[in-house]
Amino acid sequence: GAGVSQSPSNKVTEKGKDVELRCDPISGHTALYWYRQSLGQGLEFLIYFQGNSAPDKSGLPSDRFSAERTGGSVSTLTIQRTQQEDSAVYLCASSRGLDADTQYFGPGTRLTVL
Q: Given the rule CB under 8 A, which residues bind other proteins?
A: 4, 31, 33, 35, 42-45, 48, 50, 56, 59, 91, 93, 95, 97, 99-108
Q: Taking the CB of residue 62, how many other CB atoms lie within 10 A of it?
A: 11
Amino acid at 59: G
Return the DSSP state at 9.
S
Q: CB-wise, 91 or 111, nearer to other proteins?
A: 91
CB of 106 to other proteins, least distance (A): 5
Q: CB-wise, 4 or 79, nearer to other proteins?
A: 4
Residues 65 and 79: their CA atoms lie apart, in Å, by 5
Q: Are 84 and 113 in contact (CB under 8 A)?
A: yes
CB of 48 to other proteins, least distance (A): 5
Amino acid at 103: Q
Q: CB-wise, 14 or 99, nearer to other proteins?
A: 99
